[in-house]
Amino acid sequence: MASIRKRGNSYQITVSNGRRIDGSQIVETATFTPDPKRTEKQNQKALEKFVFEFEEKVKSGKFLDGEKITFQAFSDTWLSDYALQHLEPTTIDIYKKLLRVHIIPAIGNLKLARIQPAHLNKLYNAMLLERKDGREGGYSPTTIKRVHALISSILNTAVKWNVVLENPCERVSPPKQRRDADSIQFFTLEETGLFLAAVDAALAAGRIHTQHKVFFHLALFCGLRRGELVALTWADFDFNRCTVSITKSTGLVDGKPFTKAPKNKTSSRTVSVPESVMMLVRNYQREQYRLRLSLGSYWKGNNYVFIQADGKQMYPSTPYSVFKDVIHRHNQMASDAELLPDIPLHGLRHTSATLLISQNVDIRTVSGRLGHAQTSTTMNIYSHQLQSMDEKAANTLESLLHPVKSKIC
């Protein structure tokens, strides 16, 4: 039976949990703090419920003590008892990698209740200075923020489960994420023209296939994400209306492709496609159909637009390697004035948005095409281009009003 002792403004609950080999008693303790917003009667009922649940956990062997369990052991419990029930498989896969690469080596052996802000600051500072993949420099504030958010989520769960009393992440500020022109990589209008010409040259030389050209055109002209493109099926295209519907996305889970619904409601959307690009898509569809007939029983496809040699869905990492090869081979032959910057594949999406904004397309339309949950997200990401437009607006007003001012004076 539980023992309850009042200590200041809280209650200490003690439950016997058997005996050690030497005969001494094993005692588990927990602390209950009344809610000042509740009435005395309500807090009494909450205390009784807390004591009952604590006793049941101890008896069933499910009680977790933050002074005894390590962060690594608790994170395993968190993954199995919380993450699997509440998170997407692709998200869990990302979290497992963050835990394996960054978090467990740094704080995995620490007892949960002994983790201090200093431990977390040390981890974040180390990540800023040095990477673990051999590349130069440290990790971006964005990556560190993700690590911090994951640790905080795990420790918040520990607080809710009464394993620890507080979350030390609440007293730590990770490096701020910078949203400036240097953090968003994209092609200029001239570079976009050079890239499209490089794609045509690679196709003519047989280094890439028609589907790769279609992939890059849809990324540029529609602002689609890689996972959204890889997940496309032919049923998503409306050739009469020149639109493509985005209803799913493909990522990697444990190294294998996994297709799911987009992460938010606004990511599911219908995007208008330029007629020239839709004609390219239509011609590629005919080409894929001829390939399907030629393969006969060797065809393993399931109506995906972007495919492997046997018709199966394209592997998500394939477009990246093809994209990088197109840029690399172009730059080998190009003059200094026509060199392409080595932007990431996601930079095609940024290019699409940046070019639209530069042509005075309203931010709500751009945000809708990108599938952002809020226009503020679009404004934060592309603030560099919006600032440029603001400067143009100032110059326009000056050129417009200066002659009038001169006449008055």
Give residue 330's identity as a one-letter amino acid code: H
Q: Do 288 and 348 fall into the same domain?
A: yes
Report pTM.
Answer: 0.66
Are the beta carbons of 4 and 13 closer than 8 angstroms?
yes
242-274 per-position pLDDT tens digit: 999 999 999 887 778 888 887 677 889 999 999
> Domain range spanning residue 101?
71-171
239 is a domain residue: yes
Q: Do 147 and 296 fall into the same domain?
A: no
CA 163 to chain centre: 29
Supply the pLDDT for residue 140: 85
- Compute the average pLDDT of residues 171-179: 76
311 is a domain residue: yes
201 is a domain residue: yes
188-200 per-position pLDDT tens digit: 999 999 999 999 9
Q: Which residues contact 244 (CB under 8 A, 6 or more apart)?
A: 218, 222, 224, 232, 236, 237, 238, 270, 271, 273
Q: Which residues contact 231 (CB under 8 A, 6 or more apart)?
A: 248, 249, 250, 259
Supply the pLDDT for residue 181: 44
180 is a domain residue: no
405 is a domain residue: no
- The single residue listed with the structure tokens 């190009």 is 334
66 is a domain residue: no
267-298 per-position pLDDT tens digit: 899 999 999 999 999 999 999 999 999 999 99
Q: Do 30 and 85 fall into the same domain?
A: no
Answer yes or no: is pLDDT of 404 > 60: no
Supply the pLDDT for residue 118: 94
Q: Which of 177, 185, 279, 192 is nearest to 237 (CA)?
A: 279
Pairing state between β 269-272 and 256-260? unpaired
Q: Do 196 and 251 fall into the same domain?
A: yes
Q: Do 217 and 95 fall into the same domain?
A: no
Supply the pLDDT for residue 18: 67
5-28 per-position pLDDT tens digit: 888 888 888 887 666 667 677 677
Supply the pLDDT for residue 371: 92
Q: Do 154 and 208 fall into the same domain?
A: no
Instruction: Name the CA radius of gyration of the chain, rounded.
Output: 29
396 is a domain residue: no
Q: Do 146 and 200 fall into the same domain?
A: no
Supply the pLDDT for residue 61: 59
- CB environment 318-356: b (16+ within 10 A), e (fewer): bbeebbeebbebbbeeeeeeeebeebebebbbbbbbbbb
407 is a domain residue: no
For the chain, the average pLDDT equals 88
Q: Do 205 and 236 fall into the same domain?
A: yes
Separation between Cα atoms, residue 331 and residue 352, nearest integer Å: 22
Instruction: Write down which residue in 171, 206, 235 finishes a domain.
Output: 171
Answer yes or no: is pLDDT of 134 > 90: no
Q: Do 324 and 193 fall into the same domain?
A: yes
Q: Do 200 and 139 fall into the same domain?
A: no
Q: Do 52 and 164 fall into the same domain?
A: no
Counting the structural domains of the chain, the total is: 3
* CATH at residue 219: 1.10.443.10
What's the CA angle centered on 182, arms 177 and 183, to 5 degrees? 40
Instruction: Write down which residue in 171, 201, 229 finishes a domain.
Output: 171
- Compute the average pLDDT of residues 195-221: 97
Lowest-pLDDT range of 85-94, 236-245, 376-385: 376-385
338-375 per-position pLDDT tens digit: 999 999 999 999 999 999 998 889 999 999 999 998 88
Q: Do 248 and 358 fall into the same domain?
A: yes
* CATH at residue 95: 1.10.150.130
Confidence of residue 229 (pLDDT cuts 50, 70, 90): very high
